[in-house]
Amino acid sequence: MFHYILKRLLQSLIVLLGVLVIVFFTLRLSGNPIDVLLPPGASEEMVEIYTEQLGLDKSLVAQFGIYLKNIFQGDFGTSYYYKEAVTGVIFERLPATIQLTLFSFLFTLIIGIPAGVYSALKSGKASDYIVRIFALIGQCMPVFWAGLLLIIVFAVQLNLFPTQGTGSFRHLVLPSITLGLYSAATTVRLLRSSMLEVLSKDYIQVATSKGLSKRKIVWKHAFKNAVTAILTVLGIQVAGLLAGSMIVETVFSWPGIGRLVVQSINNRDFAVVQAVVILIASIYVVINLLVDILYSIINPRVRLMKGSSK
């Protein structure tokens, strides 16, 4: 197990380095931050001063070398736009995004799991079709549109929730639902098919013939096995929610890193974009690793298989 984790960690470092190279060089192909930083009337002299101060006069490779060296010293650079350390800029916004992600994931679980199980148990009946239609709508509806629809109905018309901003639990409801809608719908559909597969297995028939209660069969025997299959997907969904909050944060004026990265791309704030991309890549890597470990705990056969294949 320890060797496995170590190997995965080393692989992760290579992935992160690859991400860093790609994001560093593509960003620099996309335009000069000086054009955003300085007012239109700025003189050539000022452009030169800024270019030198920001280190943009050095060759790309030299800039990358300096950046890499600084990263290993824990320095992710200074934001051109906000004129402060990137880590500060990001950590100020990260709690808002984590909060939104957690609540969206909670929404995913609260809606996705009961609805998925229910749909599987009622397979072929009208209620199954209704759940599946809702799941399909949830998957097809563009996040942007869903968000605006929720704002118009629940905030403007019914005045139940605020239209935007942060500050209270009520502010969290609409953005969490909007962000969680797609992953909830995905969970419903995956869990339904996974449950159907498990429910047709022999051991379920045995349990039924032994006269176990339906609740015990569904939740202890069927659900536990069905959920293993969708665990990876759920894990990636958390990372996806975290990274995919850009649109939701924009629609709901949520002050998180999704909105920060959109603004920073527009402003060519290289250091911020690089750091956010690395952060998101790291989150994906870590969550994947955690899912794999969790997977082997829930389903020891996976670990055994990996062990035997060595």
Return the range that interacts with other proteins (CB under 8 A); candidates 4-12, 47-55, 186-194, 234-242.
47-55
Closer residue to other proteins in complex, CB, 65/88 = 88
Least Å distance, CB 235 to other proteins, is 24
The encoded tokens of residue 80 equal: 């051109």
User: Reduced to 3 states, what is the DSSP secondary structure of residue 238?
Assistant: helix
173 vs 291 by CB, closer to other proteins:
173
Q: Is 161 exposed, middle or buried (0-12, 13-18, 19+ CB in 10 A)?
A: buried
Residue 159 lies near other proteins (rule: CB under 8 A): yes
**CA dist list (Å): 48 to 31, 39, 45, 52, 79:** 16, 14, 5, 6, 19
Q: Could you tell me the smallest distance in angstroms from the CB atom of residue 60 to other proteins?
A: 16
3-state secondary structure 190-257: HHHHHHHHHHCCHHHHHHHHCCCCHHHHHHHHHHHHHHHHHHHHHHHHHHHHHHCCHHHHHHCCCCCH
Contact status: 290 vs other proteins (CB under 8 A) = no
CB of 118 to other proteins, least distance (A): 5
Q: How many CB atoms lie within 10 A of CB 191?
A: 27
Which helix (H) or strand (E) segment holds residue 301: the answer is helix 300-308
Q: How far is the CB of 223 from other proteins (least distance, A)?
A: 12
- Specify the residue for token string 């809702």: 134
Min CB(184)–other proteins separation in Å: 13
Sequence-distant (≥ 6) Cβ neighbours of residue 92 within 8 angstroms: none
93 sits near other proteins (criterion: CB under 8 A): yes
If one asks whether residue 167 binds other proteins (CB under 8 A), the answer comes out as yes
Rounded least distance, CB 128 to other proteins, Å: 13
Establish if 12 lies at the interface with other proteins (CB under 8 A).
Answer: no
Residues 96-115, interacting with other proteins (CB under 8 A): 110, 114
Tell me the C-alpha distance between 127 and 192, whole Å: 13
Q: Is 51 in the site for other proteins (CB under 8 A)?
A: no
How many whole angstroms from its chain centre is CA 266? 21
Q: Which residues contact 287 (CB under 8 A, 6 or more apart)?
A: 235, 236, 238, 239
Q: Which of 18, 95, 165, 307 binds other proteins (CB under 8 A)?
A: 165
Cβ proximity to other proteins, 42 vs 236, nearer residue: 42
Which residues partner with 85 through β-bridges? Answer: 78
* Nearest distance in Å: CB 67, other proteins: 19
Instruction: Specify the residue, 11 or 266, whose C-beta has the smaller distance to other proteins.
Output: 266
User: Rounded to the nearest whole angstrom, what is the least distance from the CB of residue 50 to other proteins in the complex?
Assistant: 8
Residues that bind other proteins (CB under 8 A): 30-33, 35-47, 49-50, 53, 81-83, 89, 92-93, 110, 114, 117-118, 148, 151-152, 154-156, 158-170, 173, 215, 250-253, 255-256, 259-260, 263, 266, 268
